[in-house]
Amino acid sequence: MRILVIGSGGREHALLQGLSADPATTDLHVCPGNAGMTGLATVHADAGRADDPAAMVALAQRIEADLVVIGPEIPLVAGVADALREAGFRVFGPNRDAAQIEGSKQFAKDVMADAGVKTARAEQLVPGTPDADIEAALDRFGPTWVVKDDGLAGGKGVVVTPDREAALEHVRAVHELGNPVLLESFLNGPEVSLFCLVDGETVVPLIPAQDHKRAYDNDEGPNTGGMGAYTPLPWLPAEGVQRIVDEVCVPVAKEMVRRGTPYSGLLYAGLAWDTDGPWVVEFNARFGDPETQPILALLKTPLATLLDAVASGTLAEHPPLEWEDAYALTVVLAAENYPAAPVTGGVITGDVVNDPSKVLHAGTARNEAGELVSAGGRVLNIVGVGKTLEEARDDAYATIEQIQLEGSFYRGDIALPAVEGRISL
Ligand code: GLY
């Protein structure tokens, strides 16, 4: 199978690593890719923008792709999957209409209301809402405010704060971008990311993971795209995954079919596990980053064949998934000053960065001298695997010690609350 992966982050590097291990894969290509991917795939850095449907169709035609896997949300919302399907390609990733489940928080709320899925109470504030109405809306929420950019923000447009002024500031900042704001009630309880393969009404869950979204240890500092993640979740009740599938993902998949926009691809349910079970925080229309990195590290089922089953509408016939009996986690190495204004161009050293079973690249490039340099906020994802979560942590943190990038930082407490039994339901 000749496979094209669209995207350039740690998630796509993990996908390439998984796809390359499947004997069904004969040829791997990636666009635009990053500097860490050259050993696994042909990197098409100059084939056009990932969110340009015509450019991605032309590339898929040129390489005669049997399967195209779309990683990030922006090409999905831009209709790249639609254009590829119209051109006759098998595609892993939803069409534009279905990707609205991530592209518009209001759309997701409407789907959940019709599907009877539990989620936070929400109100939308469009740009131009008078100040007095914004103030009144803020009064209806709190004491913790959740303020979301109701456009595509890649998980980065959310502010969760006990400070009303900070909430108001974020409302104004999002409005200045021209996007609506969604105010939401705060959901208590630990967060769960459950990724499900969805092919119409067929829903197959992967193992559950937890992301760490704040920049610094002990969940301090600004929200980020994710600073680390681990899987599976030792504290989640045994029936947890099945409850999420039954109460959230199947009803949403059925509702998408009922609306005439059947879902095909990866449905990411971001949830809070409250006293009475799962409540939806958000949906994404793609694999999450960085949760995908540890999840795929434990998947034994051949990945290319699995994603191709979704793309060809035969997921219901696919055998059950098989997993390593282990734990995995990812620690993100971030550039100095991430997420505000990451410093790029710093030289990265350490031989281990060339081993994709331990280090997946996110924001990396080569400078004119051919050195590996940072090219984004989240630079590298260090993956650790172990029989226990503690061993997986030791594995990842031993690797990260071998990498040098001036000014970079990482969280030292990925999965630590779970290891120390500090997560209670
Ligand atoms: N893990 C957060 C995201 O993928 O949006």
- Find the mean pLDDT for residues 359-366: 98
CB of 161 shorter than 6 A to ligand 1: no
CB of 289 shorter than 6 A to ligand 1: yes
CATH of domain 327-419: 3.90.600.10
Over residues 397-417, the pLDDT tens digits come to: 999 999 999 999 999 999 999
- Ligand 1 geometric centre to CA of 346 (Å): 25
- Ligand 1 geometric centre to CA of 146 (Å): 17
- Ligand 1 geometric centre to CA of 310 (Å): 21
CA distances from 383 to 96, 166, 341, 388 (A): 32, 35, 25, 14
Fold of 191-317: D-amino Acid Aminotransferase; Chain A, domain 1 (3.30.470)
- Find the mean pLDDT for residues 269-290: 95
- The Cα–Cα gap between 80 and 102 comes to 15
Residue 153 confidence (pLDDT) = 62
- Find the mean pLDDT for residues 157-184: 93
The residue ranking higher by pLDDT, 157 or 323, is: 323
* Mean predicted lDDT score pLDDT of the chain: 96
Fold of 2-94: Rossmann fold (3.40.50)
pLDDT at 162 over 80: yes
- Find the mean pLDDT for residues 105-128: 93
- Ligand 1 geometric centre to CA of 210 (Å): 10
CB of 102 shorter than 6 A to ligand 1: no
pLDDT at 279 over 80: yes
Q: Domain 121-184 class?
A: alpha beta
Pocket residue to mutate for ligand 1, from 148, 223, 230, 289, most atoms within 8 A of Cβ: 289
Residue 155 confidence (pLDDT) = 53
- Ligand 1 geometric centre to CA of 64 (Å): 31
- Give the residue extent of every domain in the chain: 2-94, 121-184, 191-317, 327-419
Report residue 106's pLDDT band, with 50, 70 and 90 as the boundaries.
Answer: confident
- Find the mean pLDDT for residues 125-152: 92
Dihedral sign, CA of 74, 77, 82, 85? positive
Ligand 1 atom closest to the CA of 289, numbered from 1: 4
The DSSP bridge partners found for residue 4 are 29, 68
Over residues 54-70, the pLDDT tens digits come to: 999 999 999 999 999 99
- The Cα–Cα gap between 158 and 142 comes to 15
CA distances from 133 to 124, 167, 306 (A): 11, 14, 49
- Ligand 1 geometric centre to CA of 154 (Å): 7
Ligand 1 atom closest to the CA of 229, numbered from 1: 1
Residue 214 confidence (pLDDT) = 94
The residue ranking higher by pLDDT, 24 or 425, is: 24
Pocket residue to mutate for ligand 1, from 230, 284, 329, 381, most atoms within 8 A of Cβ: 284
Report residue 298's pLDDT band, with 50, 70 and 90 as the boundaries.
Answer: very high
pLDDT at 276 over 90: no
Report residue 156's pLDDT band, with 50, 70 and 90 as the boundaries.
Answer: low
Report residue 154's pLDDT band, with 50, 70 and 90 as the boundaries.
Answer: low
pLDDT at 357 over 60: yes
Residue 342 confidence (pLDDT) = 97
- Find the mean pLDDT for residues 66-80: 98
CB of 199 shorter than 6 A to ligand 1: no
